[in-house]
């Protein structure tokens, strides 16, 4: 079986590091999908504007082609091992990904360009299918979802004064501020770092910014509360 | 890009004709999924039993490899044309399908066999991925779904006395009767036949049976009501 790449994602996430681990966790995330020839005829998306949400089937192109039967999901702290087919890990046979995204609009250049929100796709992701979301066929009531019954917990995010000023000076400052908070509240650090004292600095790239942050942890007897503190926003050129 | 077939479906639907056009429309439909080597290690599904529903990514292997930008969805009566990416048509680039199915259980032989319900897959469908369904990431509230906002309408189904007797004589008669009603209530006929007088006989294969039916239509002034009448259940050998 061979697959054609029907289109390519241009994403607010230049790097894998920091991307929320499912779509919808960062509703302010934006992307465009441009079609490759011969899939780029405007006829192909006729009527698609009637749908608010789409399934994007894509390839985890940055993941290695090798896979293993067992993976360690971050949700389980990075220690417990479960089957690759019981996970949404990117290290899977065929490296196929699936994301439910919001369709904001369609532009024509004259080939169609889909304007997407709430995605979890790294820049340059190759797309292999697009389907409209059908609520009555694509959702299950009272579904049991094992070790991931709810969205992952969120941390509080605090922006330094310097960051607030950088954002205020930009026309896209408000949406960018939302995106920074949504992404960092997921705690992008590797799972094994989460439950120790951690004094290092981290950076997540969002749009043209390197978002630099560190963790502040209050340790009370029997409690351990972390806050993400954003120190600086460095413009990448 | 190449795709490995990780497993194969054994289905209550030996033929394409009659299969409901989305999963969940016939909850009594049953199937098993057997893994192909080297994807058949029991480790690969460890923990999967904690999930009630799965996504199956598969190939519409009976559809032709050629595709067109525009398709005529049965939902629109088979006349109006919409973009292939605004549809769930099987005549699509890469022929990838996506179905949400219920996971009833897992057996081991010693390779795992997934027991599925509520699917819409023809026998021998090649599977390329399995993912657990995550309700908080895989469903959208208040989604707009254009020309398919609700499940398709259903017709009443009436079974002849002969059919009732055939079913009573079988140990699986009750579940088979449910499946027959669920499948035929979708009106499997081509869309262009639906709004005319139609006296021909049809047959849908379910498990080992050829389910033979015809349509009875009451025409009142301004109304047109069809009932599916099941005449005979022929055992196929």
Q: What is the DSSP string of B116-129?
A: EES----TTPEEEE
Give the domain CATH number at A92.
Answer: 2.40.30.70
Are B125 and B189 in a shared domain? no
Compute the average pLDDT of residues B11-18: 96
Are A92 and A20 in a shared domain? yes
Compute the average pLDDT of residues A93-111: 97
Residue located via tokens 């046979």? A93
Q: Please report the pLDDT score of residue A78 as a whole number.
A: 80
Q: Please report the pLDDT score of residue B41 as a whole number.
A: 98
Q: Please report the pLDDT score of residue B199 as a whole number.
A: 87
pLDDT, one tens digit per residue, over B139-182 is 998 899 999 999 999 999 999 999 999 999 999 999 999 999 99
Domain boundary among the residues B81, B108, B138 is at B138
Compute the average pLDDT of residues A56-68: 95
Residue B195 binned pLDDT confidence (cut-offs 50, 70, 90) = confident
B1·A126 Cβ contact <8 A: yes
Q: Which residues of B touch A5 (CB under 8 A)?
A: 1
Q: Which residues of B touch A147 (CB under 8 A)?
A: 47, 50
Q: Please report the pLDDT score of residue A5 as a whole number.
A: 98
Are B24 and B131 in a shared domain? yes
Q: What is the CA radius of gyration of chain B?
A: 19
- pLDDT above 80: residue A222: no
Q: Please report the pLDDT score of residue B42 as a whole number.
A: 98
**Chain A residue at shortest CA distance from B100:** A138
Q: Please report the pLDDT score of residue B203 as a whole number.
A: 97
In a domain, B148, yes or no: no
- Chain A nearest-CA distance from B206, in A, is 21
A47·B82 Cβ contact <8 A: yes
Are A101 and A182 in a shared domain? no
In a domain, B174, yes or no: yes
Average pLDDT across chain B, whole number: 94
β partners of residue B106? B114
Domain boundary among the residues A85, A109, A138 is at A138
In a domain, A147, yes or no: no
Q: Please report the pLDDT score of residue A197 as a whole number.
A: 80
B145·A135 Cβ contact <8 A: yes
More confident residue, B80 or B237: B80
Residue A108 binned pLDDT confidence (cut-offs 50, 70, 90) = very high
Residue A74 binned pLDDT confidence (cut-offs 50, 70, 90) = confident
B94·A3 Cβ contact <8 A: yes
Other CB atoms within a 10 A radius of the CB of residue B110 amount to: 8
Q: Are A57 and B16 in contact (CB under 8 A)?
A: no
A2·B1 Cβ contact <8 A: yes
A151·B139 Cβ contact <8 A: no
Are A33 and A134 in a shared domain? yes
Residue B23 binned pLDDT confidence (cut-offs 50, 70, 90) = confident
More confident residue, A65 or A123: A123
B137·A146 Cβ contact <8 A: no
- pLDDT above 80: residue A149: yes
Q: Please report the pLDDT score of residue B235 as a whole number.
A: 95
In a domain, B32, yes or no: yes
Q: Which of A2, A133, A144 sits opposite B145 (nearest CB)?
A: A133
- Chain A nearest-CA distance from B181, in A, is 19
Phi, psi of B126 (to 5 degrees): -80, 130
Are B185 and B76 in a shared domain? no
In a domain, A100, yes or no: yes
In a domain, B145, yes or no: no
Domain boundary among the residues A77, A107, A138 is at A138
**Chain B residue at shortest CA distance from A53:** B143
Question: How much is the pTM?
Answer: 0.95
Q: Are B135 and A143 in contact (CB under 8 A)?
A: yes
In a domain, A151, yes or no: no
β partners of residue B131? B55
Q: Please report the pLDDT score of residue A195 as a whole number.
A: 74
Are B31 and B107 in a shared domain? yes
Q: Please report the pLDDT score of residue A155 as a whole number.
A: 94
DSSP state of B101: E
Compute the average pLDDT of residues B14-25: 93
Give the mutation candidate from B34, B50, B58, B86 for the A interface (greatest A CB count, under 10 A). B86
Are B66 and B162 in a shared domain? no
Residues of the domain holding A61: 7-138
Cα B32 from Cα B82, distance rounded (Å): 34
- pLDDT above 80: residue A73: yes
In a domain, B144, yes or no: no
Q: Please report the pLDDT score of residue A55 as a whole number.
A: 98
Give the mutation candidate from B60, B85, B152 for the A interface (greatest A CB count, under 10 A). B85
Cα A50 from Cα A13, distance rounded (Å): 27
Are A132 and A25 in a shared domain? yes
Q: Please report the pLDDT score of residue A8 as a whole number.
A: 98
Q: Please report the pLDDT score of residue A60 as a whole number.
A: 97
pLDDT, one tens digit per residue, over B29-58 is 999 999 999 999 999 999 999 999 999 999
Cα A5 from Cα A11, distance rounded (Å): 17
Are B38 and B90 in a shared domain? yes
A237 burial level (CB within 10 Å; 0-12, 13-18, 19+): exposed
Buried b (16+ CB within 10 A) or exposed e, B148-161: beeeeeeeebebee
Residue A196 binned pLDDT confidence (cut-offs 50, 70, 90) = confident
Q: Which of B40, B34, B45 is nearest to B9 (CA)?
A: B34
Q: HSE (CB half, 13 Å, CA atoms) of B53?
A: 24
- pLDDT above 80: residue A128: yes
- pLDDT above 80: residue A183: yes
pLDDT, one tens digit per residue, over B88-136 is 999 999 999 999 999 999 999 999 999 999 999 999 999 999 999 999 9
Q: Please report the pLDDT score of residue B101 as a whole number.
A: 97
B48·A83 Cβ contact <8 A: yes
Counting the structural domains of chain B, the total is 2
SS (H, E, C) chain A: CECCCCEEEEECCCCCCCCCCCCCCCCCCEEEEEECCCCCCHHHHCCHHHECEEEEEEECCCCCCCCCCEECCHHHCCCCCEEHHHCCCCCCHHHEEEEEEEEEEEEECCCEEEEEECCCCCCCCEEEEEEECCHHHHCCCCCCECCCCCCCCCCEEEECHHHHHHHHCCCCHHHHHHHHHHHHCCCCCCHHHCCCCCCCCEEEEECCEEEEEEEEEEEECCEEEEEEEEEEEEECC
Query: How many beta-carbon pairs below 8 A join chains A and B?
Result: 220
Q: Tell me what percent of the residues of chain A surpass a pLDDT of 90.
A: 83
Q: Please report the pLDDT score of residue B225 as a whole number.
A: 82
ipTM of the complex: 0.94
Length of chain A: 237
Q: Which residues of A touch B70 (CB under 8 A)?
A: 43-44, 46
- pLDDT above 90: residue A39: yes
- pLDDT above 80: residue B222: no
B131·A45 Cβ contact <8 A: no
Length of chain B: 237
Compute the average pLDDT of residues B66-70: 94
Compute the average pLDDT of residues B193-208: 90
Q: Please report the pLDDT score of residue A66 as a whole number.
A: 92
Average pLDDT across chain A, whole number: 94
A83·B3 Cβ contact <8 A: no
- Chain B nearest-CA distance from A186, in A, is 14
Are A99 and A12 in a shared domain? yes
A2·B5 Cβ contact <8 A: no
Q: Which residues of B touch A111 (CB under 8 A)?
A: none
Are B127 and B183 in a shared domain? no
Q: Which residues of A touch B132 (CB under 8 A)?
A: 86-88, 145-146, 148
């Amino acid at each position: 079986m061979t697959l054609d790449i029907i289109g390519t994602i241009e994403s607010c996430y230049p790097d894998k590091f920091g991307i929320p681990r499912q779509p919808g966790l960062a509703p302010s995330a934006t992307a465009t999908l441009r079609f490759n020839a011969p899939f780029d005829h405007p006829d192909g998306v006729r009527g698609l504007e009637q749908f608010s949400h789409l399934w994007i089937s894509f390839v985890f192109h940055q993941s290695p082609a090798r896979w293993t039967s067992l993976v360690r999901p971050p949700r389980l702290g990075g220690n417990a091992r479960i089957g690759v087919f019981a996970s949404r890990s990117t290290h899977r046979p065929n490296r196929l990904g699936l994301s439910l995204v919001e369709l904001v609009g369609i532009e024509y250049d004259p080939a169609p360009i889909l304007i997407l929100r709430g995605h979890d796709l790294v820049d340059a992701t190759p797309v292999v299918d697009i389907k409209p979301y059908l609520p009555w066929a694509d959702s299950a009531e009272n579904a049991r979802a094992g070790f991931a019954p709810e969205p992952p917990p969120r941390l509080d995010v605090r922006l330094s004064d310097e960051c607030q000023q950088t954002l205020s000076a930009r026309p896209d400052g408000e949406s960018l501020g939302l995106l920074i908070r949504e992404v960092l509240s997921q705690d992008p650090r590797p799972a094994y770092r989460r439950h120790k004292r951690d004094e290092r600095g981290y950076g997540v790239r969002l749009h043209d910014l390197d978002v630099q942050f560190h963790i502040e942890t209050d340790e009370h007897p029997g409690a351990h509360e972390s806050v993400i503190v954003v120190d600086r926003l460095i413009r990448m050129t």
